[in-house]
Each structure stands twice: as structure tokens, then as C-alpha cells.
Structure 1
């Protein structure tokens, strides 16, 4: 189903929206989403043009944002910008969108931010400043074993997902709702435990989307639905709203459909919208550009 005029209705159905995410996010109500998953474009074109050292130190004091709030936060940002012009552009691109994500999270909500190893340490500084360091919940490592093998370094076979909650004292997390995984050494546990499986840790071994598998949509950066489903199960309840405004192939929407959640997926790419319309169209209203 396609439309150009529908608007977000917290009591209504799921949406796929074509357009600039920052333009659309401002129209969404505060605190609407129990869980937000973001897989922004990786800034893989960074070039370290100017390497500088700095003696800037974290100020002494109390508070949950020591070292990143106020002047110190800006000092870190300026130092990174001096180090890498391209990163400064990435920061300017991502920062206002993360501000919106914080606003849109429910009081008990959780953000999952999926990042490349080139950016994760920089972006964590940003998240510590915006959410507060005490709201950092986990660093999840998604490990897989597929692709090329470098002989000049250890082959890179992981990505990082930073997990932040809006309120460090009151957030939703349901470990029992998550799909369990096999024990790596089932002979070391009872048969009952082996049959049930174990709860995941913060290291997730999960295959990529198979190039010949049924899940494959043809979208180049598609993520496995099993990976995102685990986040949805842990950090939202059936009937809750979940959001992805770098939606790509719509994996969050697919995971939401499987787990009885409602979703908003936003992307500016016409190709992404076409993929999501085929994949999710029966479960969502598709809003295209006028």
C-alpha cells in the first residue's frame, strides 16, 4: 500500500517513509519508541591527514558526564576534527540525528547503534555526551567468518553495536524473551541445558546474510534479521513501536513483523524503499516523496 499523505499515528499501523530522515524525525512525537536500531553509513573514506598530539586531560570532579560535558566535550570534538577533516563532516552528519534519537526514545527505551571499527571509538564519545556515561549499557561485538583474508593484518571479521538506555535506573530489558543459542561445548552441560540453549553474551556469533539464501533482498548492506530480532526481543514488548531511520533493506521492520511490534522505517534511497515495499509492503503503509 502506498501513500503520500499519511502521518504517524501512535495508535495506527507501521510505516515505511521515503525521504531525508532529519526532516521526518522532527514530526515524530517525543518518547514514541521503545527501541531504536540505527545502522548509519560507515565513514570508510576517512583519511588521517593531520596527526596531532594533545595534552588535554579529563577534568576532575563528580557527575555522570565528567570529561565530556561542556567545554571538555567541545575540546574532544575539536581535537578529533583537527585530526581528520573527513571525520568532522561525519560528526556533523550524525550528531543531530542522534540528538533526535534520544528525544524519540521512550523513558525506558534503548538505542542500538551499529558501527564500523573505524568510527566506534569516536562516536562513543558523542553518545557519552548526549546520553550520559552511566547510560551506556553494552558494547556488542557481532562476529562472523566470511569474506576475504588479508595476509598483512588480522582479518577484520566483526562489527560493533553500542547500546545506550535513556534512563540508567529504569529501562526495559527482557533476557528471557531472546532467542537462545547453542552451547559451544554442549558436552559440558546437562542434556536439558544443551537442549534449551544458552542466553547470548555481548559477543554474538551470527552468519551474514547468505548471498544465495532466501533472506537475501539484493540490498548491498543488508543485515541478518536474526541479529536485529535479538535486540527487538530484549528491549521492547509486543505491540511497542520500534524505529530505524537508516532503514536500508528494512531488516528492523522484518524483525518487528516476526515479533508483533509496530515500526517506522525511514530511508532516502529509492532503491531501499523499493526493497522495503516488496519485503514489508503488506505490513506497512509506504509513504513516498511527493
Structure 2
């Protein structure tokens, strides 16, 4: 399908409005034109083999029955406002690889991809992205570390996610460290008072809390990522007015960060729960292509 095909109605335009799209993400992103997005952030399911669930802080109407999505993933809304999805794939890389190929195609010539995974699949992703982008295009592996949740007794508890960062052209990409929020020094006594007051630029290890289960930021959507993490990504790797694409958009945090920083965004998800949460959070009526 072409970007202006009847199937999509040409709903995305470079001079158009921000978008929330309810669609199978591969079917939709294949209609978008090459090199359209300076920044792509994606946070796909982690293939944990578990059912992810979160309780929202407000009451919603109970669904009539389960909703089945792509590859048999199930979504349901139950009384008590618990949102769930099954995070398990028998053919995970058959699912993810074509979407990463599309991400490479959609990146602008100076664009950057952030792929958010965890220890289960990130090593395979690194090999695949090295082949797709070229090893010289690998910029960073960011470790997002947090300290919340259960503690394993038979191993070191896993309390971090991995974010792989690749640029389309290692000779020409956007990275503006001056726009990134600064952090307190861990040993402020070892630097001057001026430096301690200013704070330091983050490294590739980000200590940032998860979204508080009782905080105002919480939407109730499973695996919601903190706004502070996405603000840092958007601030560093895009410029005001740029388009940001997230086609595993979930709770819409990428859109919230983009809006706060004067960027434009396209958010895509096939989950009706995700689309509802994003629409209410961002005040945008979704385009429904599913």
C-alpha cells in the first residue's frame, strides 16, 4: 500500500496534526513514506512469558468478553479496572524483525532509533540491528535502572531495562546534550561547588524510578514507562518541530514527552485499551484502521 492509498486515506502528512492510530502496527507503518521520522522509539512486548497486568485508578466498564489481537495476544478489561495482556510469543523474532526493518526505512537520514527491551531478547536484537544498520551505527546501550518490585531469592534480582540506540548515519545524527536534564553528582564533594550545583550529564546508566502506582502520572496501562525517561530521549535525539514515531505506543508516554518538548508525534497500537488510554491522556480522537 502507498501512503495515499484508500486503505489508509493518507491520514499522516508531514504538515498534518499529531496522530493516534488504532491499527496493526506493521500494516500501518508499511504505508508511511521513507525517511519521514527523525526519531523512532519503540517499546515492544518483552516476551516474558507472563501476563502483564496493572490496576487503573478509576473504574471502567467491564468488557463483554476477551479481545484477541495480532498473533493471538489477548487483551481484556475486567471489573476493578485491571488491564492485561499476554506477553508471550512462540515466534518472537518473526514478529519483531519486519517491524525493525520498517523502522530503518522510516528513519530520516539523520535519524535515531531507540529500541527498549530487557535482558531476555536484547542480545539477539543487538545482532539483528548490527546487521540491519551496520555496526558503526550502534551509538549506545542505555541501562535504565530502577528499584521497585519483588526480590528473587535464587539469583541477583533483575532491576533494569536495556535500550539500544542506533543511528541511520553515524556521520550525521542529532544528539543535543545541552537539552538533556542534568543529574546530581553521586559524590558532590569531589567536584567544585559550581559543578555540584549544575549537576552532571547523564551517562549510559539512567537511575530513574518507575511510574508510581499511586502517582498522578499513572494511567493504569501495563508496562507504562516514565515520562522522565522519554523526555530525555526526545530532548537529546530530536529538534523542536520534528516528528517522533512510536508504533508500540501503549499508554502514550512518547506522545506526552513529544508534546511537552514541542515535537509532533504519531502513536500506533492495536490494543483498544491502549488507544483509549492514549486518547484520554492526550485529548486526540484516534484514527481507526483495525
Same topology, TM > 0.5: yes
Structure with more relative contact order (C-alpha pairs < 8 Å, separation 6 or more)? 1
Distance 1:6 1:274 in 2: 22
Distance 1:252 1:43 in 2: 21
Alignment partner of 1:192: what SS? helix
Distance 1:186 1:220 in 2: 37
| Contact 1:20–1:267 (CA under 8 A) maintained in structure 2 | yes
Q: Who is 1:44 aligned against?
A: 48
Gaps of 5+ in 1: 47-85
Aligned-pair distance for 1:116?
Answer: 1.5
Aligned-pair distance for 1:6?
Answer: 6.5
Aligned-pair distance for 1:288?
Answer: 2.0
Distance 2:89 2:124 in 1: 9
Match of 2:254 among 252, 257, 260: 252
Q: Who is 2:127 aligned against?
A: 125
Change (3 A) 1:87 1:6: closer
Determine whether 1:161 maps to 2:170.
no
| Contact 1:138–1:164 (CA under 8 A) maintained in structure 2 | yes
Aligned-pair distance for 1:289?
Answer: 3.6
Alignment partner of 1:217: what SS? coil
Match of 1:103 among 82, 95, 105: 105
Q: Who is 2:23 aligned against?
A: 19
Alignment partner of 1:103: what SS? helix
Match of 1:263 among 252, 262, 265: 265
More strand by share: 2
Q: Once superposed, what is the RMSD of the aligned Cα atoms?
A: 1.6
Q: Who is 1:197 aligned against?
A: 199
TM-score (norm: length of structure 1): 0.82
How does 1:192-231 map onto structure 2 within 5 Å?
Answer: 192-231=194-233
Distance 2:177 2:195 in 1: 16
Large movers: runs of 4+ above 4 Å:
none
Gaps of 5+ in 2: 1-7, 51-87
Q: Who is 2:189 aligned against?
A: 187
More helix by share: 1
Q: Based on CA coordinates, which of the two structures has the bigger radius of gyration?
A: 1
Q: Who is 1:30 aligned against?
A: 34
Instruction: Provide Cα deviations, 1:165-218, integer angstroms capped at 9, x if missing partner.
Output: 000111111111111111111222222211211100000000000000000000
Q: Who is 1:79 aligned against?
A: none
